[in-house]
A and B are shown apart, each in its own frame.
Chain A
Amino acid sequence: MENRILMQGNHAVGEGGLQGGCQAYFGYPITPQNELTQYMAKRMVEERKVFIQAESELAAINMVFGASLVGARAMTTSSSPGISLKQEGISYMVGCELPGVIVNIQRGGPGLGNIAGAQGDYFQATRGGGHGDYYLIVLAPDSVQEMYDLTREAFDLADKYRNPVIVLADGILGQMLEPVKIVKKNPMSNFSAKKDWILDGCKGRKPRMVRSLLMGEGVLEEHNLKLGKKYERMRKSEVRVETDNLEDAEVALVGYGISARICKEAMEIARQKGIKVGLVRPITLWPFPEKVIAENVDRLKAFLVIEMSLGQMVEDVRLATNGKCPVYFYGRTGGGIPEVDVIVERIEKILK
């Protein structure tokens, strides 16, 4: 195995950000992502880039807003309660068409909840999250390798669309160590965003403004329709999904992030028992890979959605099946982890 290093998920996000060209990082302590802010405190300074421990998550996201509007690739990271605070700034960034990367190492909620890994912020992430009428690309890694890769790629996606990108992971992925292959080249490095909209002083050009307040009659609607076209382009071009064993499957498991790993294990055990099980793992939670679900509704007897929540992504699976295939759900909440044995039992019960 060439060039593998043992790395913590939180560190992999930080290093991925650096390799993605992050020029400014703003954070605030919260478990279970503290190692990430600590990592950036060291690495950003080593690379002579901007690091600030902000006074709050609110301040941190607004520092990202400031760094982004002058053209820097900027990032902030937090965990669920802190991400709630960042929603104000995220909404403004979308309104002002500012790129940026926000990483959520999810923990149990609601409220202060606990510090275990959880997947309770799916709705928040995939429905915009803050006030207003908007969407963001949401990337869901399922390994430390993908924590690294997807964070790195998030910066290109953010610049490509001038829209913030969310990396939605969880405390388990953040805390665990796994071998990582460090690939420095950006997969989209051919894409170079010409930032002809930034504020850097009006030398030799007309002054520019960055704003989301559009009070003239019909102006905001026009702006939002323009943003809407952007979301359409994202839906068309940015869907990412991993599928496995769908060809002969009777039941397809659907899971993302750490739940998807558990699904893979359950699928292998079920297959050993002769049960034909397949897998759909959304890598982008928004845009959601509805096509691959819709294409399989006639062939499959059922979908079984596995989440670490009371059931959030299951709604997107139901929408995609459009009533043409039964959708079952098994989830654990508040930091509980779905069990492989239970998944296999549920599959057997569905097929009985």
Chain B
Amino acid sequence: MREEIIMAGFGGQGIMFAGTLLAHAAMEEGLNVTYFPSYGAEMRGGTANCTVIISDENIGSPVVTNPSALLAMNESSLEKFSSKVKKDGLIIVNSSLLKKEIKINDVEILKIPATELAEKLGDNKVANMVILGAYINRSKVVSLERTMDSLKKVLGEGRKNLLKLNREALKKGEENR
């Protein structure tokens, strides 16, 4: 088993947080995992992306050119990375922020209106959790329960108040595949 996930969007969409959460849950599942963020000047343009690799074998470089899954939180991220997704790979896109029709051959595309669903829960900032929930359901690489546990640890004491909303959003995404 080996999953290579690129998660991308613009700054403030919680890309890094969602990636860290997925990596944490994978660690708790006893798997090998690496998380690698975009950083420095690259981030100043307002876009953010990170790469998570989960495997039951050793992981080489934490950076991948051709991921097996793309979680795109906005249209520009989809444009930037969609052509790089492996054959028979998976793209989950936040359709709330998508204006164009998309068609990419040999890739499964899942459209989730993550921002709308998040707004219904009370805060569009948890759209990242909706997308991650959908990915967890689809890939089964980690369990929802494990991710819920990890959420508590990654948020920590300081952001404990956000736990409930984030959990709801994860669950919503998991149901809305």
Contact = CB atoms under 8 A, between A and B. Distances in A.
A176 to B, nearest CB: 5
Interface in B1-57: 20, 23-24, 27, 30, 32-37, 39-42, 57
Residues of B in contact with A, size category: 20 to 34
Contacts of A258: 61
A177 B33 CA distance: 8
Interface stretch (A40-48, A60-68, A261-269): A261-269
B38 to A, nearest CB: 9
Contact of B60 (A32, A179, A264): A264
Interface residues of A, number: 23
B62 interface: yes
Given A31-B39, A32-B40, A176-B35, A337 B23 contact: no
Contact of A178 (B30, B35, B39, B61): B35
Contacts, number: 63
A172 B39 CA distance: 10
B41 A178 contact: no
Given A265-B61, A340-B60, A172 B30 contact: no
A172 B35 contact: no
A115 B32 CA distance: 26
B61 A115 contact: no
A1 interface: yes
Contacts of A339: 65
A317 B24 CA distance: 38
B59 A261 contact: yes
A265 B34 contact: no
A172 B51 CA distance: 12
Contacts of B42: 115
A265 B58 contact: yes
A4 interface: yes
A6 interface: yes
A119 interface: no
Interface string B56-98: 0111111101000000000000000000000000000000000
Interface in A317-352: 337, 339-340
Contacts of B63: 172, 337
A115 B37 CA distance: 13
A1 B31 CA distance: 9
Interface of A: 1, 4, 6, 31-32, 115, 172, 175-179, 258, 261-266, 268, 337, 339-340
6 contacts: A115-B42, A175-B37, A176-B62, A262-B60, A262-B61, A268-B57
Which 6 residue pairs across A and B have the least CB separation, nearest first?
A: A265-B60, A177-B35, A31-B40, A115-B40, A261-B60, A179-B27
